[in-house]
Structure 1
Amino acid sequence: MGARHAGRLVLVAAGLTGLLALAGCGKGGQGAATPPPPQVVVSQPVKKNVQEWDEYTGRFAAVEDVEIRARVSGYLTAVNFQDGQVVFKGDPLFVIDPRPYQAAADAARAGVAQAQASVQLAQRELDRARDLRQTQAVSQSVLDTRSQQLQAATAQLLAAQAQARAADLDLEFTSVKAPVTGRVSNHRVSVGNLVSGGSAQSTLLTTIVSLDPIHFYFDADQASYLRYQRQSRSGERPSSRDNANPVILSLPDEQGFTHQGRIDFVDNQIDDGTGTIRARAVFDNPDMVLTPGMFARLRLVGRPNYDGLLLPDAAIGTDQNRRFVYVVDKDNKATYRGVTTGPLVDGLRVIREGLTAGDKVVVAGLQRVKPGAAVTPVEQPIQAASGGTP
């Protein structure tokens, strides 16, 4: 009986242990703590006076691009410049053998002297005939003949003088001078070669491009052109056709837009092949760093100044084609808010529509937020990047 009683006690103890274990599991399952809302960083948008710029890529072009061609024919006797140097208007570049043209100029001047002598003789003959006519010593026909001879001699003198001027021009053209200030290319013809001049097929000797000032050509899309036109009509922004609107420019090896210029031309039609319209800006180039043919980026005033709101790009999500942010309300719940964005300013994105200055926007931890769900906000101010470009 003692052994049997001991066995029953073991079984009862084992059953109680199991019931206690089950009871403990049940109590723990019902009392498990709910996880706290996710922690996120929230900030109010930065308020800043914004100047928006539209950016375009274009190419520099010389204001003056001149082909230097021979205007008279002859043998080249001198090249008076170093290839690629800067030359000034009026500098002598080439010399074509002037001796034949000097001889022609001398002969033309001799022709002028001969014609002047003929005029003087015809004038004396006419004067004599007039005196004799008063005494009826000569007929009227003789007087008329003397008058006609003076007119013919005068015409010959005019022709001789014109021929002399042409000969002097040809002689002057033997010295080929720079028509503009700029950088000269290499000489295309060496000394001793025969060059032809005075026609459309005249020998090309070299080229010169002016450098200061310099033009910059770029193409604006049709949508931007229409926006500019409407802004001009509403008085928000002056038209670049009538005003020298400011532009800024950055070279390929530069971070900021440091070169300042102005618009000085807008084309009269939109290209039907590309849907763009060509415009031109002009820049001062005293150090002649800007070179025709070089690419660069240009920014043109896109909209009038306004007080804008800015956020870091990390705070902005993308839902298909729409941008959005999460705004935390007074109950610490995240609300989905669609926004319209603009350009970057000092490293922050302009928010054109969808926010107010007092909104608290999730700027970090965006991936942990669900629309309408509670969050644990930690407020931090937004730091704008220093040294940003306009």
Structure 2
Amino acid sequence: MLTKHFLFFPFAALLLLLISACDDKAATTQKSAPLVGVTTQVISKKETTQNITFVARVEAIDRFDAVSRVEGFITEKNFTDGEYVEAGTKLFQIETAQYQNDIDRIKAEIEGAKGTLKEAQQNLARANELIKRGNISEAKRDEYLATATNATANIKKLKADLSQAELNLSYTTISTPIPGRIGKTEITIGNLVNSSSGLLAQVYRFDPIYVSIAVSEKDLLEYRKTHSEGSAEQLKITLQMSDGDEYDHTGTINFVDNKVDPTTDTITVRATFPNPDRILFPNQYVTMSWDTLESQEELLVPQVAVLENQAGRYVLVVGDEDLVAVKNIQIGRKVGEDFTVKNGLAEGDKVIVEGLQKVRPGQKVAAKNAPSTDTSKD
């Protein structure tokens, strides 16, 4: 037993020496590792153009309400609820047999009426010859004339009936005249529909799309004071979505109402926006803004510096002793390549704009300042 203990102690001492050497080597390596390099930008106030914001509602430029103008059973439904359809797409087909039968029947009646008219005209021609020789009375000749006249009128009536029958047949096919997205429908193949069935389906055009606001008299007067007559078409209109992001496309004003609503003292103003990605939906609410000619100084933060998580938007800043820290911020509108800052940052803060993916809060970094640029101008 003594021999075993005697051998154990030198082994343990050797093991401790090896562990200590490894720790010293790791510490030396950590001390000698170079700091991660990042690029920062100093937050400062810049002169920006003020803007006016309004709560706005999105509206479709065109809407097609699919209704039935004739009665019959649905034999075709050629779309899926919620899909996009092109102009001319056949949505529903109503059974055609009874309407084709009406057309065939009326055509046959017209042929019969033509025969009746021909006979009446021949009788009238003979009567006109006979009356010259005194072989027929005026009353009898007038009877033949009335028969021919009625036959002519009957053909005109039948031709009108044929036109209506052909129109009814065309109504059995319900197609959309506009492209757009079709909504939900309860109508399926086999349903009986007629003019009292109401709305079968609805198609909204998505691109382009309208956005309307109710502008107060005060804001409208301010706009007229700061913008020349006819400049509305050149006015830059922007939208902010419900998540705070700015809509990618700008719009132009295409309509200002000709009267003020006396109940609200507002006037309707409408702008047109491209909507190629179908992000905007009819009846959706957004924030619409336009610039004034006045300017102000605001804190700006580069868009590339702004990150987002479940708690909201934040930036990484380099603070005292070159340590990385997190600052939660609230942004405003987009100005060029920057966002305005409502709160969370102060003038002089250094936000990281390059190297964000390589650092973490509490880490010491080697920071260098980005070249100063003025991005406040659009």
Give TM-score, length-normalised by structure 2.
0.62
Equivalent position amino acid for 2:164 in 1: A
Determine if contact 1:58/1:217 at 8 Å carries over to the other structure.
yes
Query: 1:268 aligned to 2:268?
Result: no
- Which of 142, 162, 177 in structure 2 is aligned with 1:164? 162
Residue in 2 aligned with 1:141? 139
Distance 1:300 1:112, change over 3 A: farther
Distance 1:155 1:174, change over 3 A: same
Residue 107 of structure 1: CA displacement?
A: 1.4
- Which of 297, 301, 306 in structure 1 is aligned with 2:287? 297
Residue in 2 aligned with 1:281? 271
Equivalent position amino acid for 1:238 in 2: G
Matched residues in 2 for 1:93 and 1:71: separation?
A: 14
Equivalent position amino acid for 1:212 in 2: D
Residue in 2 aligned with 1:193? 191
Q: Aligned to 2:251, what secondary structure does the other structure show? A: strand
Query: 1:220 aligned to 2:215?
Result: yes
Equivalent position amino acid for 2:151 in 1: A
Query: 1:238 aligned to 2:236?
Result: no
Equivalent position amino acid for 1:286 in 2: P
The C-alpha deviation readout for 1:240-275, integer Å capped at 9, x for no partner, is 5xx575523333346445312221222233233332
Equivalent position amino acid for 1:228 in 2: Y
Residue in 2 aligned with 1:211? 206
- Could you tell which deviates more after superposition, 274-283 or 243-252? 243-252
- Which of 92, 95, 98 in structure 2 is aligned with 1:94? 92
Determine if contact 1:257/1:389 at 8 Å carries over to the other structure.
no
Matched residues in 2 for 1:70 and 1:138: separation?
A: 57
Which structure's CA Rg is the greater one?
1
Q: Aligned to 1:216, what secondary structure does the other structure show? A: strand
Distance 1:384 1:154, change over 3 A: farther
Equivalent position amino acid for 2:130 in 1: L
Output the aligned Cα RMSD. Answer: 3.3
What stretches of structure 1 of length at least 5 have no aligned partner?
1-44, 315-342, 350-362, 365-382
Matched residues in 2 for 1:139 and 1:239: separation?
A: 84
Equivalent position amino acid for 1:202 in 2: S
Determine if contact 1:347/1:384 at 8 Å carries over to the other structure.
no
The C-alpha deviation readout for 1:171-193, integer Å capped at 9, x for no partner, is 22122212322111123212222
Determine if contact 1:66/1:208 at 8 Å carries over to the other structure.
yes
Matched residues in 2 for 1:90 and 1:124: separation?
A: 50
Matched residues in 1 for 2:340 and 2:189: separation?
A: 62
* Percent of paired sites with the same residue: 27
- Could you tell which deviates more after superposition, 111-120 or 139-148? 139-148
Equivalent position amino acid for 1:262 in 2: T
Distance 1:169 1:97, change over 3 A: same
Question: How is 1:26-65 mapped onto 2 (pairs within 5 angstroms)?
Answer: 52-65=50-63
Residue 313 of structure 1: CA displacement?
A: 6.5
Aligned length in residues: 273
Equivalent position amino acid for 1:268 in 2: N
Residue 52 of structure 1: CA displacement?
A: 4.8
